């Protein structure tokens, strides 16, 4: 189970925990993008499965400003969207607006990472294994990421306005602790499935359990 926990607990705090259920993993489509790639597949490349519960993102809005600021201080590893085995890994990255993502190339071939999404347009150019680039994302929204050399590579960066977010584990379990009791709007987003938005009440002491089916 993935946990989002503050280093210092908030007084009178509750927990939101639950499970995200999907219909299970499915093989990726044979053609993911409309533009033609210019390079043949490398040995070991694979197409990531679709429909995984772990590709979901759970985030909250209507979080009190003081609590959101406290969550902003949580020490998270800086997100990475690596190019590995001619795929992006992980397939989904979530980040709060204002944060940055690293794009290391771990393959023995060149990649060219870019996006034409209105949320953030960028082109990192072509670079080899061992090099990395970074991009800051200042505006909330969805960013579709591709490789200009390999048309079968695609990933998603979801930039959210709140610092209160997490992703389920492989079984779909998630938990967010140290939430001030109160009313929240919970978003459960998935790149392959319809987003679910639900109003939830979190107790000041104790846990609220939810089940989301996508």
pLDDT, one tens digit per residue, over 170-187 is: 999 999 999 999 999 999
Rounded distance between C-alpha atoms, residue 114 and residue 125, angstroms:
8
Q: Determine the pLDDT at residue 30.
A: 56
Is the pLDDT reported for residue 43 higher than 90?
no
For residue 209, CA distances in Å to 9, 154, 197 come to: 20, 33, 15
Q: Determine the pLDDT at residue 8.
A: 42
pLDDT, one tens digit per residue, over 102-131 is: 999 999 999 999 999 999 999 999 999 999
**From edge to edge, which strands make up the β-sheet containing 206-213?**
2-4, 173-180, 13-21, 206-213
Is the pLDDT reported for residue 145 higher than 90?
yes
Q: Do domains 1-25+50-74+166-214 and 76-162 have the same CATH topology?
A: yes
Q: Determine the pLDDT at residue 29.
A: 67
Is the pLDDT reported for residue 9 higher than 50?
no
Q: Which residue has the tokens 């969550």?
A: 71
Contact 122, 108 (CB under 8 A): no
pLDDT category at 75 given cuts 50, 70, 90 is: confident
**Domain 1-25+50-74+166-214, CATH homologous superfamily name and number:** Immunoglobulins (2.60.40.10)
> What architecture is domain 76-162?
Sandwich (2.60)
Q: Determine the pLDDT at residue 23.
A: 86
Is the pLDDT reported for residue 63 higher than 60?
yes
Q: Determine the pLDDT at residue 1.
A: 58
Rounded distance between C-alpha atoms, residue 38 and residue 154, angstroms:
15
In this structure, what DSSP letter does residue 70 have? H
Domain boundaries, the chain: 1-25+50-74+166-214, 76-162
pTM of the model: 0.88
């Amino acid at each position: 189970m993935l946990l989002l926990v503050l280093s210092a607990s908030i007084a009178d705090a509750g927990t939101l925990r639950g499970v995200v259920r999907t219909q299970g993993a499915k093989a990726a489509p044979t053609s993911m993008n409309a533009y033609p790639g210019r390079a043949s597949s490398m040995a070991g490349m694979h197409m990531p499965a679709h429909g995984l519960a772990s590709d979901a993102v759970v985030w909250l809005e209507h979080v009190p400003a003081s609590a959101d600021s406290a969550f902003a201080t949580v020490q998270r590893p800086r997100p990475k969207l690596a190019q590995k085995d001619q795929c992006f890994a992980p397939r989904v990255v979530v980040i709060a607006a204002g944060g940055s993502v690293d794009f290391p190339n771990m393959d023995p071939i060149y990649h060219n990472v870019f996006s034409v999404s209105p949320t953030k347009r960028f082109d990192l150019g072509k670079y080899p294994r061992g090099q990395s680039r970074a991009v800051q994302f200042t505006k909330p929204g969805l960013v579709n990421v591709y490789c200009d050399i390999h048309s079968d590579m695609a990933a998603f960066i979801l930039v959210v306005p709140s610092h209160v977010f997490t992703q389920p584990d492989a079984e779909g379990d998630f938990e967010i602790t140290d939430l001030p009791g109160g009313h929240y709007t919970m978003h459960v987003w998935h790149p392959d499935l319809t987003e679910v938005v639900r109003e939830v009440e979190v107790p000041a002491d104790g846990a609220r359990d939810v089940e989301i089916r996508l």
